Amino acid sequence: MELIPALQKNRTRLATWRHDLHAHPELAFEERRTADLVASILTLAGIEVHRGLAETGVVGVLKAGTSPRAIGLRADMDALPLHEQNTFPHRSQHEGLMHACGHDGHTVMLLGAAEYLAETRNFDGTIYFVFQPAEETIGGARVMIEQGLLEQFPMEQVFGMHNWPGLPAGQFAVHSGPVMACADQFDIVVRGHGAHAAMPHQGRDPVLAGATLIQALQSVVSRNVDPLDSVVLSITRFQAGEAYNIIPDEVRIGGTLRAFRNDLRDAAESHMERICNGIGAAHGLQISLDYRRGYPPTVNTADEAEICRRIATNLVGESNVRSNLNPSMGAEDFAYFLHERPGCYVWIGNGMDEGGCMLHNPHYDFNDDILALGASYWARLAEHLLEPI
Ligand code: NI
């Protein structure tokens, strides 16, 4: 493995930063302590720091040479509302909050690279280090972009990285094209007419219509989507009445839809609409659908994916860079950056052993052994993209 020696030597320090962040997790747009730490490390390294985008966002600006080329490297900083069940010394000190997605590690890998690049300045151009809040559910990336990130820091390409449990430590996965799905949500209200449960003919039963609707919605994917395309429609909420002897007035149904392409989302929504109307008509009641688009699909551009694959290969060898791994139906707000600029979001293996349990699990932990590797990847990627001509 060809890690950058200075970063490899620095790994204990990187782990100390990581443990500190892990012990002090903060939720979306509340990453104040985290942002303070990020800003102070960048400042100490001699990197210009900008704060305030999306409340707690931090952008470090590092220039070398005279080239107008500019790239963005992004890490996410937020934690999850989860009760940590680990017992190691760096477990969460904030009850009910936990870094269960490894954003503590992502932040530290980028900080390690920033510090190294500030010291060596072996590149020609501008690097924007983007530390974004609120990746989980709220979309801090979108907010940063809406507030002018790309105008204020005009990067030509943008790159992201996420740890991936189950992928061995020392490996990367690079996808050309889709890597993560969209995450849309929907709410459905079935409005019937309540009645005594012993006299259902006097009402319009939304429970029966709701149950029929849930089954019918499964045909959206199985009968309307090309079997070679990937779409998931999951119903996760079904809220009806509370009594044993009352048919309620209405039923509420909710769930999520995942897909890798926008045309598939559009088609799924219109099939859902049709089915809701049809089941409503069949049962003589009203069914309304509120379909909301969440994070778009995360789709890497081919040229940038190829560059990332080469950088990873130089670090860990060809056999440790997976380009054939299936994308995930999970979602990621890095998608918003890729909507605006070419770029690539890679997975770095978090390992299979202890701590290798899946993301968002109360036993999860980021693997300290990959901090220097991730930081080396960032540094080599930046040096390659901004190679002096
Ligand atoms: Ni994450």
Q: With the C-alpha atoms ordered 257, 262, 264, 268, is the resulting torsion angle positive or negative?
A: positive
Same domain, 278 and 361: no
Query: Quick one: what percent of the chain has pLDDT higher than 70?
Result: 99
Residue ranges making up the domain that contains 209: 183-295
Q: Three-state SS for 114?
A: helix
Same domain, 212 and 311: no
- Residue 357: the pLDDT is 76
Residues linked to residue 132 through DSSP beta bridges, in sequence order: 76
The H-assigned helical ranges of 196-322 are 206-224, 262-283, 302-316
Pairing of strands 58-64, 48-51: antiparallel
Residues linked to residue 199 through DSSP beta bridges, in sequence order: none
pLDDT tens-digit readout, 237-250? 999 999 999 999 99
- Residue 60: the pLDDT is 98
- Residue 137: the pLDDT is 80
The mean pLDDT value of the chain amounts to 96
Per the structure, the count of domains in the chain is 2
How far does residue 347's CA lie from ligand 1's centre (Å)? Answer: 11
Same domain, 204 and 220: yes
- Dig out the tokens for 3 from the structure: 């890690």
pLDDT tens-digit readout, 339-371? 999 999 999 999 986 555 788 999 999 999 999
How far does residue 288's CA lie from ligand 1's centre (Å)? Answer: 33
| Residues, beta carbon < 5 Å, ion ligand 1 | 101
How far does residue 80's CA lie from ligand 1's centre (Å)? Answer: 9
Same domain, 64 and 98: yes
How far does residue 195's CA lie from ligand 1's centre (Å)? Answer: 46
- Residue 354: the pLDDT is 58
Last residue within a domain, chosen from 235, 265, 295: 295
How far does residue 215's CA lie from ligand 1's centre (Å)? Answer: 32
Range 298-321 average pLDDT: 97
Range 22-49 average pLDDT: 97
344 burial type by CB count under 10 A (0-12 exposed, 13-18 middle, 19+ buried): buried
Is residue 383 within 8 A of residue 14, CB to CB? The reply is: no
Same domain, 210 and 332: no
Same domain, 133 and 34: yes
Is residue 193 within 8 A of residue 204, CB to CB? The reply is: yes
pTM equals 0.93
Counting every residue written for the chain, the total comes to 389
CA 54 to CA 31: how far, in whole Å?
Answer: 11
Is residue 24 within 8 A of residue 338, CB to CB? The reply is: no
How far does residue 187's CA lie from ligand 1's centre (Å)? Answer: 25
How far does residue 251's CA lie from ligand 1's centre (Å)? Answer: 33
How far does residue 280's CA lie from ligand 1's centre (Å)? Answer: 39
Amino acid letter for position 224: N
Band of residue 1 on the pLDDT scale cut at 50, 70, 90: low
How far does residue 330's CA lie from ligand 1's centre (Å)? Answer: 10
How far does residue 364's CA lie from ligand 1's centre (Å)? Answer: 12
Output the domain CATH number for residue 84: 3.40.630.10
Amino acid letter for position 96: G
- Whether 269 has a pLDDT exceeding 90, the answer reads yes
Last residue within a domain, chosen from 247, 271, 295: 295
Same domain, 49 and 149: yes
